[in-house]
Amino acid sequence: MKLTQHNRRQFLRDLGISTAAIPFVAGLPTLLRAAGAQTVPARKRLIILFSPNGTLPDEFWPDEFGPEKPLELKPMLKALDPFREQTLLIKGVDNKIRGDGDNHMRGMSCLLTATELNPGNIQGGSDTPAGWASGISIDQQVRNHLQSREETRTRFGSIEFGVAVPNRADPWTRMSYAGNNKPLAPIDDPGQMFEKLYGGAKDRGSVASVLDYVKDDLRRVSKNLSPEDRTLLEEHMQLVRQLEDDIAAAEKQNELVHPEPEIDPNIELTNDNTPAISRMQIDLMVNALANDMTRVATLQYMRSVGQARMRWLDVEEGHHSLSHEKDSNEDAYAKLKRINSWFAGELAYLAKRLAETPEPGGAGGTMLDNTQIVWLNELGKGNSHTLSSIPFALIGGGAGFKTNRALNLKGVPHNRLWLALARGMGNDELTTFGTDRYCIDGAIDLS
């Protein structure tokens, strides 16, 4: 089933997070005022968005770099143009982690952890076999820091979203780690995510919608019974009425805080539904952030070596196979351009949703002003499998980096970028992250 535009709107309406509704969805200003609170410091949020199989460097990086030069985006990234002034591209930041595993595995599982893989039994396309990453990932590091303090603690701490991630756990499919040998699985089913965020509210709604029929049945069945037996059904009827009241009361209570969605999107998790699933996941993410259920979120598209067939872009070949083609293969090159443009478009949609949502809590500005989005990839370039110059695109204001520019740092270990991110997110104590020897000179200065 392909989710039509109409259905998507239906889904959003039921979700209660159409654009116009967002300020009410967030709901918290009302609550805070009611509690007599004054303005609160803006929340800092972190979103990490992953797309696989390397980029096309010539289409990704601008022609000119420099701390004072305004950013100019290449056509492949034109979807990001509305956010150009809040965008920072950083070339020359390398994943220098070596050791066990092929470049895809290390690209994926060392990307956010910036530390080596354990030796292991998973054989890549080359190199030695490897196991899980041996340390925590940066998103979880930020999460733990925020959760350690009362004023920044949230219900979930972090939420790991996925789109079309295969149901298997190995170093190619996991980028977030709670610690050594502790990979975290992204949830790629919007229905399941929905359930996680809103509990049984939609189920209660569905139950409420059939209770009238249940009561009809109780009445009908009662007629045939002896008076003694009828008393049991009368009690049963009372309980059904009670349940109706309870559900109504629960919904009324929830109306003010979290508008709980009423229906299940029920979308089939098929390759062709990926665009619709992607938007649903982004909508759910923005809603969760607006409601302050979490301040850290990751969004993982497919997996390293993923073979998604993006037919919605007129691409029949698997993504990973295409990424191996030489640059001279014009057809493959054009397709990879479309693919990476599409990812940029999804990123832009996320940024747009954040930009059009006022920052809850009366701090002013939009959510994007206080959210750091990091878009990244496990490889610098698909057909060379390089881990140098990972395409890092940073959007938004969460970490306080200076934007509207492109920098070329020419070979800085990405450990130092994560140190800068941790600092930007409020952790000034962190002096090393991941493998120590790549942390010399500390956080990159991005202010």
Partner 1 sequence: MRSHFRIPFFHLVFSLALWSALAAASVIGSTPQAQLGAVIFRDMCASCHGTDGQGVANKYDEPLAGSRSLSSLARFIERKMPEEKPEACIGDEARQVADYIYNEFYSFEARRKKGLIPRIELARLTLPQYRNAAADLLGLFTPLPTQGGERGPDDDKEVSNTKTESGLRAEYYQSKGMSKADQLQLQRIDRDIDFDFGEGSPSANITADQFTIIWDGALAAEDTGHYEFRVRTENGARLYLNSENTGGRRKLRDDSSVVGQAALIDAWVSSGEMREQTARVFLLGGRQYPLRLEFFKYKEKTASVRLEWKPPHGTWAVLNHHYVNTARVSRTFVVETPFPADDRSFGYERGSSVSRAWQGAVMNASIATAAEVVNRLPLLAGFEVGDPQRMEHVSEFVARFAAYAYRRPLTSAEDHLLREVLFADATNPEATVRRAILFVLQSPNFLYTDLAPEGESPSQHTIASRLSFALWDSIPDKQLLDAAISGALTTAEQIEAQARRMIADPRARAKIRGFFHEWLELDERDLAKDKSLFPEFDEAVIADLRYSLNLFLEQVVWSEESDYRQLLLADYLILNEHLRGLYESNPGGPKPAGSAPDVQPSIDFIPVVFPADGRAGVLTHPYLLSAFAYHNNTSPIHRGVFLTRNIVGRRLKPPPMAVAFKEDEFAPDSTMREKITQLTRDKACISCHSVINPLGFALENYDAVGRWRTRDKDKPVDTKSQYVTDEGSTLEIQSARDVANYAVTSESAHRAFVTQVFHHLVKQNPSAYGPDTVDHLRSQFEDGSFNIQNLVIRIAALAASHDHKTAPQPEPTP
Scanning the structure block, which residue is given the tokens 């878009």? 375
Q: Of residues 343-402, which lie at the interface with partner 1 (CB under 8 A)?
A: none
Closest approach, Cβ 153 to partner 1, in A, equals 30
User: 342: closest CA among 378, 293, 309?
Assistant: 309
Q: Does 431 bind partner 1 (CB under 8 A)?
A: no
Closest approach, Cβ 214 to partner 1, in A, equals 5
Query: How many other C-beta atoms are found inside a 10 Å radius of the C-beta of residue 83?
Result: 23
Per-residue exposure over 55-76, b if at least 16 CB sit within 10 Å of its own CB, e if not: bbbeebbbeebeeeeebebeeb
Q: Does 240 bind partner 1 (CB under 8 A)?
A: yes
Q: Does 206 bind partner 1 (CB under 8 A)?
A: yes
Q: Does 168 bind partner 1 (CB under 8 A)?
A: yes
- Is beta strand 371-376 parallel, antiparallel or unpaired with respect to 392-395? antiparallel
Nearer to partner 1, 128 or 404 (CB): 128
Out of 52, 107, 124, 361, name the contact with partner 1 by CB under 8 A: 124
Distances, alpha carbon 415 to alpha carbons 97, 158, 209, 213, 332, in Å: 9, 21, 53, 61, 33
Nearer to partner 1, 267 or 373 (CB): 267
Q: With contacts defined by CB under 8 A, how many residues of the chain interact with partner 1?
A: 57
Q: Does 447 bind partner 1 (CB under 8 A)?
A: no
Out of 41, 66, 70, 200, name the contact with partner 1 by CB under 8 A: 200
Whole-angstrom distance, CA of residue 356 vs CA of residue 182: 36
Q: Of residues 180-199, which lie at the interface with partner 1 (CB under 8 A)?
A: 181
Whole-angstrom distance, CA of residue 130 vs CA of residue 127: 9
Q: Which stretch binds partner 1 (CB under 8 A): 74-82, 83-91, 161-169, 362-370?
A: 161-169
Q: Which stretch binds partner 1 (CB under 8 A): 138-146, 265-273, 274-282, 437-445?
A: 265-273
Q: Which stretch binds partner 1 (CB under 8 A): 90-98, 293-301, 303-311, 356-364?
A: 303-311
Question: Which H or E run includes 191?
Answer: helix 190-198
Whole-angstrom distance, CA of residue 263 vs CA of residue 275: 20
Whole-angstrom distance, CA of residue 169 vs CA of residue 183: 8
Q: Of residues 131-160, which lie at the interface with partner 1 (CB under 8 A)?
A: 131-132
Q: Which stretch binds partner 1 (CB under 8 A): 28-36, 112-120, 369-377, 438-446?
A: 112-120
Question: Which H or E run includes 300?
Answer: strand 294-301
Whole-angstrom distance, CA of residue 273 vs CA of residue 277: 6
Q: Does 50 bind partner 1 (CB under 8 A)?
A: no
Nearer to partner 1, 240 or 363 (CB): 240
Out of 1, 249, 256, 440, name the contact with partner 1 by CB under 8 A: 1
Out of 211, 250, 257, 363, name the contact with partner 1 by CB under 8 A: 211
Scanning the structure block, which residue is given the tokens 């083609």? 325
Q: Does 217 bind partner 1 (CB under 8 A)?
A: yes
Q: Of residues 2-31, which lie at the interface with partner 1 (CB under 8 A)?
A: 7, 10
Scanning the structure block, which residue is given the tokens 């992953």? 50
Q: Does 232 bind partner 1 (CB under 8 A)?
A: yes
Whole-angstrom distance, CA of residue 233 vs CA of residue 219: 8
Out of 239, 248, 256, 440, name the contact with partner 1 by CB under 8 A: 239
Tokens, residue 358: 């006022």
User: 167: closest CA among 192, 187, 195?
Assistant: 187
Closest approach, Cβ 277 to partner 1, in A, equals 13
Look up residue 57 and give its DSSP letter.
Answer: H
Do the Cβ atoms of 369 and 395 come closer than 8 Å? no
Whole-angstrom distance, CA of residue 185 vs CA of residue 400: 29
Look up residue 1 and give its DSSP letter.
Answer: -
Q: Under the rule (CB under 8 A), what is the footprint of partner 1? A: 1, 7, 10, 118-125, 129, 131-132, 166-172, 181, 200, 203, 206-207, 209-211, 213-214, 217-218, 221, 224-226, 228-229, 232-233, 235-236, 239-240, 242-243, 263-264, 266, 268-270, 303, 305-307
